[in-house]
Chains A and B, each alone.
Chain A
Amino acid sequence: MCYYNGQKVTHDEYIRLKQLEKLVANYDFLSRDLQIGFDYNQNTVLKANAEKTDFDLVQMEWGFIPSYLRTREDVFKMRSGYKDASGKYRPPIITLNAVCEEILAPGKIYREAALKRRCLVLSTGFFEWRHIYPLNKRTGLPLKTANKYPYYISLKDKGYFFMAGIWQPWTDKTTGEYVETFAIVTTKANKLMEQVHNSKKRMPTILNEDLAYEWMFGDLDESRISEIAATQVPVEEMQACTIAKDFREVLEPAKEFIYEDVPALELNL
């Protein structure tokens, strides 16, 4: 058992707080916008050093920026959508997640990073929305518009865990701004996540410590990269609970919130 500030905490919690100390020490409060959003903000990433003998805990921007984009304005347009010179609307391209089945596809923006710049994203848990279609009281048929309920998903008995990521250095060609950006690799949902993230049936690729080490430090061929990228964390290691719909605005976003009209998840899978 350990003590932090005189308070008795578990070993896991002690490690989390010590890691948070390192992050806070390196966090530049003055140049950061205040944000609690989950898009394009700074996240903690484990990145191998050049010799691949050790790793650093660094902050990277979530949202992979392809090397062909020249300026922040280009990045903004890619993420928000825009009308091109001919007036044609180009929809947003979201690069928060990289689909494991496609990361190595020739010509894909993620290929080079998947081959050469794999990283681990430190997480304590993540949020997904479950879509539930209420029944029409007259016909008994599901309505076309779903009610959406947020869930917080974490791993049992783990204060934190690793998600597979790939990263990309990027420099704004006009201002010289340098950032490192990343995408979280996603895989097919397991039986639990199929129920929670039931609109897309995907989930992050969560790696145990051995696979995490191999993902970051291993000299891997394409077949092994694809294999690890497709890893599904076992259902029995996960836990999920509903949380408040305004979870981004409250003090404890992950606090359980019960909805009377949300059927329980099937956990005996």
Chain B
Amino acid sequence: MEGKQNKFELNYHNSAINVERHSIGKQTIFRIIFSDKRPPLIITRALHENAYKFWTSIPEGRQREADEIGTLISEYFKTIT
């Protein structure tokens, strides 16, 4: 199934980023393509030990971007559902 929810554009720090949703092994990940020369970022939702969900980069190392862009993605889904 394809739909607009699987590929969309967001504004991140006044720049456009392209977001793609993929399903790998029944797990959802998001691939972020930046308009500058930064390498693409893969993020997913993970479960904190204290039972709340947080956004994280795959692999580790880009937590700040994962957190900020993940929040934008969550807001995007709230507006369309």
Q: Which residues in A have some Cβ–Cβ distance to B below 8 Å?
A: 1, 4-10, 13, 16-17, 19-21, 23-24, 27, 29, 32-38, 41-44, 59, 122-126, 246, 248-253
Give the number of residues in B that approach A within 8 Å (Cβ atoms): 40
Contacts of B21 in A (CB 8 A): 34, 36
Is the CB–CB distance between B22 and A9 below 8 Å? no
List B residues 15-59 near A (Cβ within 8 Å): 20-29, 31, 40, 42, 44-50, 53-54, 56-59
Contacts of A35 in B (CB 8 A): 1-2, 6, 22-23
Expressed in whole angstroms, the minimum distance between the Cβ of A264 and any Cβ of chain B is: 23
Q: Which residues in B have some Cβ–Cβ distance to A below 8 Å?
A: 1-3, 5-7, 20-29, 31, 40, 42, 44-50, 53-54, 56-61, 63, 66, 73-74, 77, 81
Bound-state Cα–Cα, A50 to B6, Å: 37
Contacts of B7 in A (CB 8 A): 34
Is the CB–CB distance between B23 and A36 below 8 Å? yes
Query: What are 5 pairs between A and B in contact, CB < 8 Å?
Result: A4-B56, A20-B25, A20-B58, A27-B22, A34-B21
Decide yes or no: A17 and B5 within 8 Å by CB, A24-B24, A24-B29 being known contacts: no
Decide yes or no: A27 and B48 within 8 Å by CB, A5-B56, A35-B6, A251-B77 being known contacts: no
Decide yes or no: A23 and B66 within 8 Å by CB, A8-B49, A9-B46 being known contacts: no
Q: From the candidates A6, A10, A124, name the one contacting B63 in the complex (CB within 8 A).
A: A6
Closest to A6 in B: B63
Is the CB–CB distance between B26 and A124 below 8 Å? yes
Decide yes or no: A29 and B20 within 8 Å by CB, A4-B56, A23-B25, A36-B1 being known contacts: yes
Is the CB–CB distance between B46 and A251 below 8 Å? no
Bound-state Cα–Cα, A18 to B22, Å: 17
Q: What would 9 more interface pairs be, CB under 8 Å, given A24-B29, A122-B25?
A: A5-B63, A17-B46, A21-B59, A23-B24, A24-B58, A29-B22, A123-B26, A126-B26, A250-B81
Is the CB–CB distance between A29 and B54 below 8 Å? no
Is the CB–CB distance between A20 and B27 below 8 Å? yes
Expressed in whole angstroms, the minimum distance between the Cβ of A31 and any Cβ of chain B is: 12
Bound-state Cα–Cα, A126 to B25, Å: 11
Is the CB–CB distance between B25 and A43 below 8 Å? yes
Is the CB–CB distance between A4 and B60 below 8 Å? yes
Bound-state Cα–Cα, A110 to B26, Å: 24
Closest to A11 in B: B49
Contacts of B3 in A (CB 8 A): 249
Expressed in whole angstroms, the minimum distance between the Cβ of B27 and any Cβ of chain A is: 6
Expressed in whole angstroms, the minimum distance between the Cβ of B55 and any Cβ of chain A is: 9
Bound-state Cα–Cα, A250 to B58, Å: 21
Is the CB–CB distance between A13 and B24 below 8 Å? no
